[in-house]
Amino acid sequence: MRTLVLFALAVMGTLPASAHVVTFGWESGDPVLGMYGSGEPPLYASFAYAPDPVHTGTMSLCLEDNSPSGTPYAYVAWIGALVDGDQVEASFWRYDTTPGVSPSCRIWAHWNDDPGDVNGYAGYAGGNTDYGPGEGWDLTSWSWTVVDGHSGLVIQVRVYSNPGDVVWVDDLTVTAPDHAWIHTSEGVGPVQPSSWSRIKALWQ
């Protein structure tokens, strides 16, 4: 049984380096997967409807700062089953109309090596340091390369603002290797983590 498990893991680790793409525009599902910060909750995450800013479709993500201090952030995508050398790319459109001052946001990420808990944390992974022009909608993006044996990555919207400030986000795109799974608040796709669950069950 152990030999079968190790063989399955070896196959997963040697799959082709082709990629798949998941897009999400907050037209359905919960607003975010989770969040972090000093407030309770750190952010008020909700759907925005026109005439509030919407980049495409009928809805966008609205994040209102509720943290008395620090930098709150929302989890908008979770990628798992990664191996060293894998590359993950993500982008989203963000909206603010305050050039050079808060509120603003940027794309960031942290490592999460626990495939069963979106709130797991295994160190920060960095991201784009650009706060945007503050003149309406602009596209922000970043690319991460998996290192040090990490197996999961959580994409964040980091909010730089004062309590009560609001930013808007829309049209998230995540690109990852075919052997990885990508989880947004709409669900998991296109590679389901059920294959990993079956492998773990063999070990038990």
Structure tokens at 104: 């603003």
What does the pLDDT look like over 81-119, one tens digit per residue? Answer: 999 999 999 999 999 999 999 999 999 999 999 999 999
Domain containing 137 equals 2-9+17-203
Q: How many domains does the chain have?
A: 1
- Find where tokens 């070990």 sit: 203
- Looking up residue 166, the CATH number of its domain turns out to be 2.60.120.260
Is-above-0.75 flag for pTM? Answer: yes
The proportion of the chain whose per-residue pLDDT surpasses 90, expressed as a percent, equals 77
Helix, strand, or coil (residue 155): strand
Query: Do residues 48 and 63 make contact, with C-beta atoms less than 8 angstroms apart?
Result: no
- pLDDT tens digits along 163-190: 999 999 999 999 999 999 999 998 876 5
Q: What gap in Å lies between CA 118 and CA 22, rounded to an integer?
A: 18
